[in-house]
C-alpha cells in the first residue's frame, strides 16, 4: 500500500507532481489539453494521448511532452498501452461524445456510439491501467463525468446514463484498487466551452439560458478544470478517493432563478 503522506510543516510541495508520470487521454484539445499543460507546469512527465494525431502533436510539442496516438475504440491498443508506456502514476481521461435526441428517436447505431466511447472506453482504460498501478502499489486515476450524471434534461438521456455509469465505475474501482494504494476519482464539469459543445455556443438563447443557470452566470473555459486535475493527481488529495469533484459554477446547487422582492 502507498505510504501515508504527511506534509505537516512543509506545504510548499503539496500540489506538485514532480517525478510523476501522467498519461492524459484526450490531450489533443479542450479539457484534456489544458489538463496536460497544467500537469506539466506542476512538474509531471506528461504523455499526451489522443486519436487526432495533428492536435495531439501540437499539444505535446507545446509542453515538451510525449505524443502517443491512441483510439479508445481500439480495445487492443488500449490494452497494450500500459506495457508500451511503462510505469504510469496518473491517468486522466476526458473523451466523450453526445447525440442530442429524445430517447424514442435514438437509432441503435447512435446508442452504441455513445456507450462505446463514453462508458466502454472508460472501462477499458481503468482496467488496463488499474492493474499495473495496483501491482506497484500507487497511482491516481481521474475520469471525467458530468453534472449530467446527477441532473438530466430532455435530449441527453444516453449521454447522462454513460456519465452516471462512469461515476459508478470509478467508485467501484476506488473500492477495489484502494487497498493497493491507488486512488480513483471523477470530475464533473458543468457547461464548458469545448468542441463537443460548439453547436450551442452559436445558439444565443440556449447559451444564455445555460449561463444563467449557474451561480456565476457564465460558462466555464477548459482551463478552469485543470486545477481539479492537478489537485486529484497530487498528494494534496492523498486521502481523496471514490469522490466526484463537481466543477460546475454552482449549476447543481441552484433550482431556478426567481429573485424575491425587496
The CATH number given to whatever domain includes residue 54 is: 3.40.50.720
- 2: pLDDT strictly greater than 60: no
| Residues 158 and 96: beta-carbon distance below 8 Å | no
What value does the mean pLDDT take over residues 97-113?
96
- 167: pLDDT strictly greater than 80: yes
Question: What proportion of the chain, given as a percentage, has pLDDT over 70?
Answer: 95
154 domain residue, yes or no: yes
Domain that holds residue 219: 21-251
What value does the mean pLDDT take over residues 159-181?
98
Q: Which residue do the cell numbers 488529495 mark? A: 237
Helical packing angle, 157-177 and 108-115, nearest 10°: 30
Task: Give pLDDT tens digits for 188-199.
Answer: 999 999 888 878
- 9: pLDDT strictly greater than 70: no
Number of domains in the chain: 1
Gap between the Cα atoms of 229 and 226, Å rounded: 5
Task: Give pLDDT tens digits for 63-102.
Answer: 999 999 999 999 999 999 999 999 999 999 999 999 999 9
73 domain residue, yes or no: yes
What value does the mean pLDDT take over residues 201-208?
89
Between 262 and 182, the more confident residue is: 182
What value does the mean pLDDT take over residues 114-122?
98
7 domain residue, yes or no: no
179 domain residue, yes or no: yes
Residue 7 is predicted with a pLDDT of 63
Residue 3 is predicted with a pLDDT of 56
Find the length of the chain. 262
Contacts of 260 (CB under 8 A, 6+ apart): none
DSSP-derived secondary structure for 182-196: EEEEEEEE-SB-SST
Residue 182 pLDDT grade (very low, low, confident, very high; cuts 50, 70, 90): very high
88 domain residue, yes or no: yes
What value does the mean pLDDT take over residues 213-217?
94
Task: Give pLDDT tens digits for 15-47.
Answer: 999 999 999 999 999 999 999 999 999 999 999
pTM for the full predicted model: 0.94
* Nearest C-alpha neighbor of 91 from the set 136, 158, 46, 54: 46
What integer best gives the mean pLDDT of the chain? 94
- 241: pLDDT strictly greater than 80: yes
Residue 10 is predicted with a pLDDT of 77
For the question of residue 7 being annotated catalytic, the response is no
Gap between the Cα atoms of 72 and 59, Å rounded: 18
Cβ atoms < 10 Å from Cβ of 75: 15
The three cell numbers locating residue 179:
487497498
Which one of the listed residues 7, 11, 68, 159 is annotated catalytic?
159
What value does the mean pLDDT take over residues 147-165?
96
26 domain residue, yes or no: yes
Cβ atoms < 10 Å from Cβ of 128: 19
What value does the mean pLDDT take over residues 48-65?
98
15 domain residue, yes or no: no
What value does the mean pLDDT take over residues 206-217?
93
Contacts of 79 (CB under 8 A, 6+ apart): 124, 128
| Residues 222 and 192: beta-carbon distance below 8 Å | yes
28 domain residue, yes or no: yes
Amino acid at each position: 500500500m502507498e505510504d501515508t503522506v504527511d506534509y505537516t510543516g512543509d506545504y510548499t510541495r503539496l500540489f506538485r507532481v514532480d517525478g510523476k508520470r501522467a498519461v492524459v487521454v484526450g490531450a489533443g484539445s479542450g479539457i484534456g489539453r489544458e489538463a496536460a499543460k497544467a500537469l506539466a507546469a506542476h512538474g509531471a512527465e506528461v504523455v499526451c494521448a489522443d486519436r487526432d494525431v495533428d492536435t495531439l502533436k501540437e499539444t505535446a510539442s507545446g509542453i515538451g511532452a510525449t505524443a502517443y496516438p491512441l483510439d479508445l475504440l481500439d480495445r487492443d491498443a488500449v490494452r497494450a498501452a500500459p506495457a508500451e508506456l511503462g510505469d504510469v502514476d496518473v491517468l486522466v481521461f476526458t473523451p466523450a461524445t453526445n447525440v442530442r435526441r429524445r430517447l424514442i428517436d435514438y437509432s441503435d447505431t447512435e446508442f452504441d456510439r455513445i456507450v462505446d466511447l463514453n462508458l466502454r472506453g472508460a472501462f477499458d482504460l481503468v482496467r488496463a491501467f488499474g492493474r499495473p498501478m495496483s501491482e506497484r502499489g500507487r497511482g491516481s486515476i481521474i475520469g471525467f463525468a458530468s453534472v449530467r450524471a446527477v441532473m438530466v434534461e430532455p435530449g441527453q438521456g444516453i449521454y447522462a446514463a454513460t456519465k452516471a455509469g462512469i461515476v459508478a465505475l470509478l467508485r467501484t474501482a476506488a473500492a477495489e484498487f484502494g487497498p493497493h494504494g491507488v486512488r480513483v476519482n471523477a470530475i464533473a464539469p458543468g457547461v464548458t466551452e469545448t468542441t463537443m459543445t460548439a453547436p450551442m455556443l452559436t445558439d444565443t438563447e440556449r447559451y444564455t439560458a445555460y449561463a444563467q443557470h449557474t451561480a456565476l452566470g457564465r460558462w466555464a473555459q477548459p482551463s478552469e478544470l485543470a486545477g481539479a486535475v492537478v489537485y486529484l493527481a497530487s498528494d494534496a488529495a492523498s486521502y481523496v478517493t471514490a469522490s466526484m469533484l463537481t466543477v460546475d459554477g454552482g449549476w447543481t446547487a441552484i433550482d431556478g432563478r426567481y429573485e424575491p422582492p425587496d
